[in-house]
Chain A
Amino acid sequence: MDENNKKENTIGIVNYGAGNIFSLTAALERQDIAYGMVNTETDLEKYDRIIIPGVGHAGAAMQKLDQTGMVNAIKALTKPVLGICVGMQLLTAHSEEGDANLLDIIPLQTKLFDKDLGIKIPHMGWNTVDFKNNLLFKDVQEGTQFYFVHSYFIEYNPIFDIASVNYGNRFSAAIQKDNFYGVQFHPEKSGAAGALLLKNFSNLSL
């Protein structure tokens, strides 16, 4: 796709080999949202919005992202970016998982759940998300649950938090800084509400 063929409202998915993206692309297809793969820095230019997916180990994911050579270009993006699960954690400064330095786009820490809080790890299943008035959650009903599966969480910080969730302690279910958004849950697996969130992201204007 060259610049002249650029479509409106297309999403580029950063394809860096961290987990399966079949479910994500399927969810975008169900919403009729056009998407393509971002394999190189120049691919970032082809799309209006960027999703950074991610499953598995945050430290390992960061290494893989590093290997694509796209880190600086991603950090410099001014179009809407959405990190999902580990993709969200990558936006933070550091993760306790593998003691890894991450993109540091949003100055937050990704931490391991404390099992002394009497919780099971991973945090797996549907949990209620307490979201703020943010375009990403437009038309999502209050008290809606989203599907989570993770062992590390992003510390709650009122400056960047746009949605929080309780599991052992309160932490961020969604964060935002400027054009960078992140969600800890999996919208592609979160039923109708998840689909709506993806749709909202695809319509987001800054």
Chain B
Amino acid sequence: MLSKRIIPCLDVKDGRTVKGVNFVDLRDAGDPVELAAQYAAQGADELVFLDITATHERRKTMIEMVKAVARQLNIPFTIGGGISEITDAEALLNAGADKISVNSAAVKNPQLIEDLAKAFGVQFVVLAVDTKHIDGKNIVHLNGGRLITELETESWIKRAEDLGAGEILLTSMDHDGTKQGFDCKLLEKINQMINIPIIASGGAGKTEHFTEVFQKAGVDAALAASVFHYGEILIPELKQELRKHNIPVRL
């Protein structure tokens, strides 16, 4: 049976992972390679690296980091952040990335999704969507929720699927950082609507939230950052708990 995936998300700046990390036996919490290996050893099914570098050097440092990670890591990983051209994606693919995620660039130029899917296959293209609830509608936001668009989340995701997105990473900005649980209602709605895998993001605070999002929303994967980085939730224990609730996981 296909397992539900648990995905830690790592923010990367200038080739270094940011946000505090609590792993006791980690020598260098800023080393993406060591951190990635640690997560893989704990049983993470996949990793997402989100590049938040704002300098001109970003592309070069990112490629070096991706290569370093791919040399060591024996599970799949996705790279996101600032990918706006086919050449960016191709360089990441050749450096060993399994998937790339696009967000703002795809909103500005939806054709990018189709071009990426044609060039590298749908399995390579993750569409990341940041959504916020406004006046009874779900609206796509950019720049980490700071910039509103005119797009309704549901129709944007449906369009992206038609264009060739192979997976959706949906982050609820209303839930993100609250630690009050995922937006199961919206996730369930989107999950029913599409025929590609969906990763839930935003709101994970405790183990029960993961059980809930898999049971209620039926999503394929759940992503979180701080609860894993600060050791508030340990992946082996989380997976044991999910299994107790008959949610298929890889142990």
Which residues of A approach B to under 8 Å, CB–CB?
Answer: 19-20, 22-23, 26-27, 29-30, 55-57, 115, 120-128, 145, 147, 149-151, 166-167, 186, 188-192, 194-195
Cα-based distance from A63 to B159 in the complex (angstroms): 30
In the A-B complex, list the 6 residue pairs whose CB atoms are closest, starting with the nearest. A22-B96, A56-B121, A126-B250, A126-B3, A149-B123, A145-B250
Q: How far is the CB of A169 from chain B (nearest CB, A)?
A: 13
Cα-based distance from A173 to B102 in the complex (angstroms): 30
B52 at the interface (CB under 8 A from A): no
Q: Could you tell me the dominant secondary structure of chain A's interface residues?
A: mixed
Q: Could you tell me the dominant secondary structure of chain B's interface residues?
A: loop
For A166, what are the chain B residues with a Cβ–Cβ distance below 8 Å?
1
Interface size grouping (class) on chain B: 20 to 34
- Interface-forming stretch among B11-19, B67-75, B227-235? B67-75
Do A122 and B71 have beta carbons less than 8 Å apart?
no
Given contacts A56-B120, A127-B1, contact A121 B71 (CB under 8 A): no
Residue in A29, A55, A121 whose beta carbon sits within 8 Å of that of B195 in the complex: A121
Which residues of B approach A to under 8 Å, CB–CB?
Answer: 1-3, 5, 40, 45-46, 67, 70-72, 74-76, 93-96, 98, 120-124, 166-167, 194-197, 220-221, 250
Q: How far is the CB of A35 from chain B (nearest CB, A)?
A: 14
Cα-based distance from A26 to B250 in the complex (angstroms): 23
For B76, what are the chain A residues with a Cβ–Cβ distance below 8 Å?
147, 149, 186, 189
Cα-based distance from A30 to B40 in the complex (angstroms): 15
Seed contacts A55-B123, A125-B5; 19 additional CB < 8 Å A-B pairs: A19-B93, A22-B67, A26-B70, A115-B195, A120-B194, A120-B197, A121-B195, A122-B166, A122-B197, A124-B167, A125-B46, A125-B221, A126-B250, A127-B2, A128-B1, A166-B1, A189-B98, A190-B74, A194-B74
Most chain A beta-carbon neighbours within 10 Å: one of B3, B67, B72: B3
Residue in B67, B70, B75, B197 whose beta carbon sits within 8 Å of that of A124 in the complex: B197
